[in-house]
Amino acid sequence: MRVLVTGATGFLGGVVARELAASGHEVWGVGRDPVRGQALQQSGVRFVPLDLRGAVFSSLIAEAHAVVHSAARSTLWGRWADFYADNVEVSAAVARACAGAGVRLVHISTPSVYNATGQTQNISESTAIGPHFDSLYAHSKYLAELEVQAAHPEATILRPRGIYGPGDTSILPRLALALRAGRLPRLDGANADGGGEVHTELTHVRNVSHAVALALARPAPGLFNITDGVTIPIWATLDRLADALSVPRPTRQANPRTLETVARVLERLYALHPRRPEPPLTASGVRLLTRGMTLDLTRARERLGYVPVVHPDQGLEEAIQAAVNV
Protein backbone atom coordinates (compact mmCIF):
# COMPACT_ATOMS: atom_id res chain seq x y z
CA MET A 1 0.00 0.00 0.00
CA ARG A 2 1.28 3.49 -0.85
CA VAL A 3 0.77 5.64 2.26
CA LEU A 4 1.25 9.39 2.47
CA VAL A 5 2.12 10.58 6.00
CA THR A 6 1.79 14.29 6.74
CA GLY A 7 3.86 15.77 9.54
CA ALA A 8 6.48 13.12 8.84
CA THR A 9 9.32 15.31 10.10
CA GLY A 10 7.55 15.60 13.46
CA PHE A 11 7.70 13.21 16.41
CA LEU A 12 4.62 11.06 15.78
CA GLY A 13 4.62 11.35 11.99
CA GLY A 14 8.25 10.27 11.82
CA VAL A 15 7.66 7.13 13.87
CA VAL A 16 4.52 6.26 11.88
CA ALA A 17 6.31 6.74 8.55
CA ARG A 18 9.31 4.64 9.57
CA GLU A 19 7.25 1.82 11.05
CA LEU A 20 4.96 1.65 8.03
CA ALA A 21 7.99 1.55 5.71
CA ALA A 22 9.59 -1.17 7.85
CA SER A 23 6.41 -3.25 7.56
CA GLY A 24 6.54 -3.22 3.76
CA HIS A 25 4.42 -0.23 2.76
CA GLU A 26 5.58 2.32 0.20
CA VAL A 27 5.65 5.48 2.31
CA TRP A 28 5.82 9.11 1.26
CA GLY A 29 6.53 11.52 4.10
CA VAL A 30 5.45 15.17 3.86
CA GLY A 31 7.18 17.72 6.09
CA ARG A 32 8.92 21.06 6.36
CA ASP A 33 12.29 20.03 7.84
CA PRO A 34 14.77 18.96 5.10
CA VAL A 35 17.33 17.67 7.62
CA ARG A 36 14.83 15.30 9.20
CA GLY A 37 13.58 14.56 5.71
CA GLN A 38 17.03 13.23 4.79
CA ALA A 39 16.96 10.96 7.83
CA LEU A 40 13.54 9.68 6.75
CA GLN A 41 14.87 8.78 3.32
CA GLN A 42 17.62 6.74 4.94
CA SER A 43 14.82 4.77 6.65
CA GLY A 44 13.15 3.96 3.34
CA VAL A 45 10.64 6.83 3.34
CA ARG A 46 10.32 9.02 0.25
CA PHE A 47 10.50 12.59 1.57
CA VAL A 48 8.34 15.32 0.00
CA PRO A 49 9.25 18.81 1.30
CA LEU A 50 6.01 20.75 1.66
CA ASP A 51 4.31 23.26 3.95
CA LEU A 52 0.67 22.17 3.91
CA ARG A 53 -0.71 25.59 4.79
CA GLY A 54 -1.95 27.10 1.56
CA ALA A 55 -0.39 24.35 -0.55
CA VAL A 56 -2.10 22.50 -3.39
CA PHE A 57 -1.59 18.81 -2.65
CA SER A 58 -4.64 17.09 -4.14
CA SER A 59 -2.57 15.55 -6.97
CA LEU A 60 -0.10 14.17 -4.43
CA ILE A 61 -2.90 12.61 -2.37
CA ALA A 62 -4.49 11.17 -5.51
CA GLU A 63 -1.34 9.08 -6.06
CA ALA A 64 -1.66 7.43 -2.62
CA HIS A 65 -3.84 4.57 -1.43
CA ALA A 66 -4.11 6.02 2.07
CA VAL A 67 -3.19 9.16 4.00
CA VAL A 68 -2.19 9.47 7.65
CA HIS A 69 -2.71 13.10 8.61
CA SER A 70 -0.57 13.72 11.69
CA ALA A 71 0.59 17.25 10.84
CA ALA A 72 -0.76 19.82 13.30
CA ARG A 73 0.06 22.88 15.34
CA SER A 74 0.41 21.11 18.69
CA THR A 75 1.18 23.56 21.47
CA LEU A 76 -0.52 25.08 24.48
CA TRP A 77 0.18 28.63 23.31
CA GLY A 78 -0.24 30.57 20.10
CA ARG A 79 -2.53 32.69 17.95
CA TRP A 80 -6.02 31.49 17.04
CA ALA A 81 -5.44 32.40 13.39
CA ASP A 82 -2.46 30.01 13.27
CA PHE A 83 -4.30 27.20 15.05
CA TYR A 84 -7.25 27.61 12.69
CA ALA A 85 -5.12 27.71 9.55
CA ASP A 86 -2.85 24.79 10.46
CA ASN A 87 -5.33 22.52 12.20
CA VAL A 88 -8.78 23.28 10.82
CA GLU A 89 -8.23 24.52 7.28
CA VAL A 90 -5.42 22.09 6.42
CA SER A 91 -7.33 19.11 7.86
CA ALA A 92 -10.43 20.07 5.89
CA ALA A 93 -8.41 20.35 2.69
CA VAL A 94 -6.72 16.98 3.27
CA ALA A 95 -10.08 15.31 3.98
CA ARG A 96 -11.68 16.79 0.89
CA ALA A 97 -8.77 15.70 -1.29
CA CYS A 98 -8.88 12.17 0.14
CA ALA A 99 -12.65 11.91 -0.33
CA GLY A 100 -12.43 13.23 -3.89
CA ALA A 101 -9.76 10.69 -4.81
CA GLY A 102 -11.35 7.79 -2.95
CA VAL A 103 -8.31 7.58 -0.64
CA ARG A 104 -8.49 6.13 2.85
CA LEU A 105 -7.80 8.65 5.64
CA VAL A 106 -6.52 8.23 9.19
CA HIS A 107 -6.69 11.56 10.99
CA ILE A 108 -4.80 12.17 14.25
CA SER A 109 -6.77 14.23 16.76
CA THR A 110 -6.51 14.56 20.55
CA PRO A 111 -8.46 13.82 23.75
CA SER A 112 -7.71 17.40 24.78
CA VAL A 113 -11.18 17.98 23.32
CA TYR A 114 -12.54 16.34 26.50
CA ASN A 115 -10.72 18.70 28.90
CA ALA A 116 -13.61 21.11 29.44
CA THR A 117 -16.37 18.49 29.65
CA GLY A 118 -16.00 18.00 33.40
CA GLN A 119 -15.38 14.28 32.94
CA THR A 120 -12.06 12.70 33.84
CA GLN A 121 -12.60 8.94 34.19
CA ASN A 122 -13.26 6.30 31.54
CA ILE A 123 -14.31 8.90 28.97
CA SER A 124 -15.93 7.48 25.86
CA GLU A 125 -16.01 8.84 22.33
CA SER A 126 -19.74 9.57 22.71
CA THR A 127 -19.07 12.23 25.36
CA ALA A 128 -20.69 15.56 24.47
CA ILE A 129 -18.04 18.13 23.58
CA GLY A 130 -18.14 21.93 23.46
CA PRO A 131 -19.07 24.67 23.12
CA HIS A 132 -16.31 25.64 25.60
CA PHE A 133 -12.69 24.41 25.43
CA ASP A 134 -9.75 24.90 27.76
CA SER A 135 -7.24 25.80 25.03
CA LEU A 136 -7.07 27.14 21.50
CA TYR A 137 -5.39 23.88 20.51
CA ALA A 138 -8.27 21.73 21.80
CA HIS A 139 -10.85 23.97 20.13
CA SER A 140 -9.06 23.87 16.78
CA LYS A 141 -8.65 20.09 16.88
CA TYR A 142 -12.35 19.62 17.59
CA LEU A 143 -13.30 21.86 14.68
CA ALA A 144 -10.85 19.87 12.54
CA GLU A 145 -12.66 16.65 13.51
CA LEU A 146 -15.97 18.15 12.41
CA GLU A 147 -14.47 19.19 9.06
CA VAL A 148 -12.97 15.73 8.50
CA GLN A 149 -16.20 13.94 9.36
CA ALA A 150 -18.22 16.22 7.06
CA ALA A 151 -15.84 15.87 4.10
CA HIS A 152 -14.86 12.21 4.54
CA PRO A 153 -17.39 10.22 6.63
CA GLU A 154 -15.34 7.02 6.20
CA ALA A 155 -12.25 8.55 7.86
CA THR A 156 -10.76 7.01 11.00
CA ILE A 157 -10.08 9.63 13.68
CA LEU A 158 -7.70 8.67 16.49
CA ARG A 159 -7.50 10.52 19.81
CA PRO A 160 -4.21 9.42 21.45
CA ARG A 161 -3.63 10.73 24.97
CA GLY A 162 -0.25 12.29 25.90
CA ILE A 163 2.12 10.85 23.29
CA TYR A 164 5.58 10.09 24.67
CA GLY A 165 8.66 8.04 23.81
CA PRO A 166 12.16 8.49 22.36
CA GLY A 167 12.16 11.51 20.10
CA ASP A 168 9.49 13.33 22.12
CA THR A 169 10.29 17.04 22.40
CA SER A 170 7.24 18.01 24.42
CA ILE A 171 6.28 16.09 27.55
CA LEU A 172 9.25 14.53 29.37
CA PRO A 173 11.98 16.79 27.90
CA ARG A 174 10.11 19.91 29.04
CA LEU A 175 9.51 18.43 32.47
CA ALA A 176 13.18 17.45 32.65
CA LEU A 177 14.13 21.05 31.84
CA ALA A 178 11.86 22.35 34.62
CA LEU A 179 13.28 19.82 37.10
CA ARG A 180 16.87 20.71 36.21
CA ALA A 181 16.04 24.40 36.70
CA GLY A 182 14.40 23.66 40.06
CA ARG A 183 11.28 25.61 39.09
CA LEU A 184 8.65 22.86 39.22
CA PRO A 185 6.44 23.16 42.33
CA ARG A 186 4.80 20.09 43.84
CA LEU A 187 1.08 19.97 43.12
CA ASP A 188 0.12 16.45 44.19
CA GLY A 189 -0.74 17.27 47.81
CA ALA A 190 -3.76 19.40 46.92
CA ASN A 191 -4.52 18.76 43.29
CA ALA A 192 -7.52 20.18 41.51
CA ASP A 193 -9.51 16.99 42.00
CA GLY A 194 -9.11 17.22 45.78
CA GLY A 195 -6.89 14.17 46.20
CA GLY A 196 -3.21 13.39 46.54
CA GLU A 197 -1.51 11.64 43.65
CA VAL A 198 -2.81 12.37 40.16
CA HIS A 199 -3.47 9.30 38.01
CA THR A 200 -3.66 9.58 34.25
CA GLU A 201 -3.08 7.70 31.03
CA LEU A 202 -0.44 8.32 28.38
CA THR A 203 0.28 6.73 25.01
CA HIS A 204 3.65 5.46 23.84
CA VAL A 205 4.35 6.66 20.32
CA ARG A 206 4.67 3.08 19.07
CA ASN A 207 1.19 2.31 20.42
CA VAL A 208 -0.19 5.20 18.37
CA SER A 209 1.72 3.94 15.32
CA HIS A 210 0.26 0.47 15.94
CA ALA A 211 -3.26 1.94 16.04
CA VAL A 212 -2.59 3.71 12.74
CA ALA A 213 -1.44 0.46 11.13
CA LEU A 214 -4.59 -1.29 12.37
CA ALA A 215 -6.79 1.49 10.94
CA LEU A 216 -5.09 1.10 7.57
CA ALA A 217 -5.44 -2.68 7.57
CA ARG A 218 -8.91 -2.79 9.06
CA PRO A 219 -10.83 0.32 7.97
CA ALA A 220 -13.25 1.56 10.61
CA PRO A 221 -14.88 4.98 10.31
CA GLY A 222 -15.38 7.15 13.35
CA LEU A 223 -13.66 8.25 16.54
CA PHE A 224 -11.29 6.11 18.61
CA ASN A 225 -9.60 6.78 21.94
CA ILE A 226 -6.04 5.46 22.13
CA THR A 227 -3.84 5.08 25.25
CA ASP A 228 -1.44 2.59 26.81
CA GLY A 229 -4.47 1.20 28.65
CA VAL A 230 -2.79 1.55 32.06
CA THR A 231 -2.96 4.47 34.49
CA ILE A 232 0.25 5.99 35.80
CA PRO A 233 0.87 8.27 38.82
CA ILE A 234 2.09 11.62 37.48
CA TRP A 235 4.02 12.79 40.53
CA ALA A 236 5.63 9.45 41.30
CA THR A 237 6.75 9.43 37.68
CA LEU A 238 8.17 12.94 38.06
CA ASP A 239 10.06 11.78 41.15
CA ARG A 240 11.41 8.91 39.07
CA LEU A 241 12.50 11.35 36.37
CA ALA A 242 14.18 13.61 38.94
CA ASP A 243 16.10 10.63 40.36
CA ALA A 244 17.24 9.65 36.86
CA LEU A 245 18.41 13.24 36.26
CA SER A 246 20.19 13.27 39.66
CA VAL A 247 18.35 16.44 40.66
CA PRO A 248 16.17 17.10 43.73
CA ARG A 249 12.58 15.95 43.63
CA PRO A 250 10.00 18.78 43.67
CA THR A 251 9.10 19.61 47.28
CA ARG A 252 7.85 23.21 47.26
CA GLN A 253 4.07 22.84 47.61
CA ALA A 254 1.76 25.10 45.63
CA ASN A 255 -2.01 25.34 45.42
CA PRO A 256 -3.02 24.31 41.88
CA ARG A 257 -6.03 26.60 41.74
CA THR A 258 -3.93 29.60 42.77
CA LEU A 259 -1.25 28.63 40.28
CA GLU A 260 -3.82 28.28 37.50
CA THR A 261 -5.12 31.78 38.30
CA VAL A 262 -1.57 33.15 38.14
CA ALA A 263 -1.09 31.38 34.80
CA ARG A 264 -4.23 33.00 33.38
CA VAL A 265 -2.97 36.44 34.39
CA LEU A 266 0.39 35.71 32.74
CA GLU A 267 -1.39 34.56 29.58
CA ARG A 268 -3.31 37.85 29.37
CA LEU A 269 -0.14 39.88 29.89
CA TYR A 270 1.91 37.93 27.35
CA ALA A 271 -0.94 38.14 24.84
CA LEU A 272 -0.50 41.94 24.85
CA HIS A 273 3.08 41.62 23.61
CA PRO A 274 3.41 42.22 19.84
CA ARG A 275 5.21 38.88 19.36
CA ARG A 276 2.99 37.00 21.85
CA PRO A 277 5.85 34.94 23.36
CA GLU A 278 4.86 31.84 25.31
CA PRO A 279 4.50 32.64 29.04
CA PRO A 280 6.58 30.64 31.53
CA LEU A 281 3.36 29.15 32.90
CA THR A 282 0.06 28.32 31.17
CA ALA A 283 -3.26 27.30 32.68
CA SER A 284 -3.40 24.26 30.40
CA GLY A 285 0.06 23.21 31.59
CA VAL A 286 -1.03 23.40 35.23
CA ARG A 287 -4.13 21.31 34.52
CA LEU A 288 -2.04 18.61 32.80
CA LEU A 289 -0.19 18.05 36.10
CA THR A 290 -3.19 18.30 38.41
CA ARG A 291 -6.10 16.65 36.61
CA GLY A 292 -5.87 13.06 35.55
CA MET A 293 -7.75 11.50 32.67
CA THR A 294 -8.56 7.94 31.67
CA LEU A 295 -10.22 6.92 28.42
CA ASP A 296 -12.58 4.11 27.46
CA LEU A 297 -10.81 1.96 24.84
CA THR A 298 -13.76 -0.35 24.10
CA ARG A 299 -14.32 0.95 20.57
CA ALA A 300 -10.64 0.69 19.65
CA ARG A 301 -10.42 -2.84 21.01
CA GLU A 302 -13.60 -4.07 19.32
CA ARG A 303 -13.47 -2.27 15.97
CA LEU A 304 -9.74 -1.90 15.36
CA GLY A 305 -8.52 -4.91 17.30
CA TYR A 306 -6.30 -2.53 19.29
CA VAL A 307 -4.06 -4.01 21.97
CA PRO A 308 -1.09 -1.86 23.11
CA VAL A 309 2.27 -3.24 22.00
CA VAL A 310 4.30 -1.22 24.53
CA HIS A 311 3.52 -1.31 28.27
CA PRO A 312 4.17 1.88 30.31
CA ASP A 313 6.69 0.04 32.52
CA GLN A 314 8.89 -0.46 29.48
CA GLY A 315 7.87 2.69 27.63
CA LEU A 316 8.41 5.14 30.49
CA GLU A 317 11.82 3.73 31.37
CA GLU A 318 12.83 4.09 27.74
CA ALA A 319 11.44 7.63 27.54
CA ILE A 320 13.03 8.72 30.83
CA GLN A 321 16.44 7.54 29.67
CA ALA A 322 15.96 9.42 26.40
CA ALA A 323 15.03 12.59 28.32
CA VAL A 324 18.10 12.24 30.54
CA ASN A 325 20.34 12.09 27.49
CA VAL A 326 18.89 15.18 25.79
The β-bridge relationship of strands 2-6 and 46-49 is: unpaired
* 113 DSSP 8-state letter: G
Catalytic residue among 84, 114, 137, 270: 137
Closest of 69, 73, 11, 9 to residue 45, by C-alpha: 9
**Cβ neighbours around 82 below 10 Å, total:** 15
Q: 6 with 67: CB under 8 angstroms?
A: yes
81 burial (CB, 10 Å; 0-12 / 13-18 / 19+) is exposed
Residue 142: active-site member: no
- How many angstroms separate the CA atoms of 136 and 120, rounded? 20
Q: DSSP states of 50-80 as a string?
A: ---TT---HHHHHT-SEEEE------SS--H
Backbone angles phi, psi at 195, to 5 degrees: -110, -160
Q: DSSP states of 134-172 as a string?
A: SSHHHHHHHHHHHHHHHH-TT-EEEEE-SEESTT-SSHH
Catalytic positions: 137
